[in-house]
């Protein structure tokens, strides 16, 4: 499997600041932030599956526009996988005929452009020889991480999360884990804000990595615009057990 980074920024402001979205192979999206908008129409047409970690705007901003752009032309619905709680939020606050049409009932409920598929923590979705499993995360709204398994290797994306012992335990069970994408939204000076918003700062990330017993490549995502260099410097200063690198837009990870 290949994961291409369409966006991994914690905000907007410049050509390299696209919010979280990853294209897996050419038919799966993991989150649907502003980075999806850079894809050409023919690439959007190939997307059949979208996995949403949680309902915050930076992770779903392009979802309504994606469905609107390709829904009628595809001939089959785009399937959105998310927890029941996240699906409820999307229905209530986005696809509600006020903010955006309810594409799960257009043109009718028997032939919709959008199909919601609930996925609970611990459940897996198999797409051919590929497997995507929802893992626990701890955020201000219901949220999950995702483990992608090609059969030959695995990649875990933390989503937005604070310190989460259950997620660390799941990471340590993946002996074929090649890549770990983990967020770090705030600097150490903003530790209080990180705790309040259930995000991570460098000291927290270093503590998590010291508890990880497997040895994947670690990629830091969700850096706030203008703070990325400082956050990365602070992570390195903590000297975590595993080396880390900054995830960048356009990067491709294979597993």
Burial of 68 (0-12, 13-18, 19+ CB in 10 A): middle
Q: What is the CATH number of domain 2-254?
A: 3.60.15.10
Which tokens sit at 181?
A: 């994408």
CA distance 26 to 47: 7
Determine the angle formed by the axes of helices 228-237 and 202-211, rounding to 10 degrees: 40
CA distance 46 to 24: 11
Helix (H) or strand (E) segment spanning residue 132: strand 130-136
Domain ranges of the chain: 2-254
In tens, the pLDDT along 100-142 reads: 999 999 999 899 999 999 999 999 999 999 999 999 999 999 9
What residues in the chain have per-residue pLDDT under 70? none
Helix (H) or strand (E) segment spanning residue 229: helix 228-237
Query: Residue 15's pLDDT is what?
Result: 86
Question: Structure pTM?
Answer: 0.97
CA distance 79 to 112: 10
């Amino acid at each position: 499997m290949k994961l291409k980074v369409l966006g991994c920024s914690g905000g907007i402001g410049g050509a390299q600041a696209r919010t979280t979205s990853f294209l897996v192979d050419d038919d799966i999206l993991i989150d649907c932030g502003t980075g999806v908008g850079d894809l050409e129409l023919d690439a959007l047409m190939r997307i059949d599956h979208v996995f949403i970690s949680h309902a915050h705007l930076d992770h779903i901003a392009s979802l309504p526009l994606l469905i609107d752009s390709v829904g009628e032309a595809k001939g089959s619905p785009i399937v959105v996988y998310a927890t029941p709680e996240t699906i409820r939020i999307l229905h209530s606050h986005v696809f509600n005929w006020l903010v955006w049409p309810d594409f799960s009932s257009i043109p009718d409920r028997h032939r919709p452009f959008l199909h919601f598929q609930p996925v609970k923590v611990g459940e897996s979705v198999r797409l051919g020889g590929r497997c995507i499993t929802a893992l626990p995360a701890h955020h201000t709204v219901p949220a999950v991480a995702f483990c992608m398994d090609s059969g030959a290797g695995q990649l875990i994306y933390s989503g937005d999360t604070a310190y989460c012992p259950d997620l660390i335990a799941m990471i340590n069970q993946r002996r074929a884990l090649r890549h770990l994408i983990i967020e770090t939204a705030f600097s150490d000076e903003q530790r209080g804000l990180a705790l309040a918003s259930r995000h991570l700062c460098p000291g927290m990330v270093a503590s998590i990595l010291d508890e990880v017993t497997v040895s994947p490549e670690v990629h830091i995502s969700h850096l706030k615009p203008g703070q990325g260099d400082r956050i990365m410097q602070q992570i390195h200063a903590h000297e975590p057990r595993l080396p880390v690198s900054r995830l960048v837009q356009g990067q491709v990870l294979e597993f």
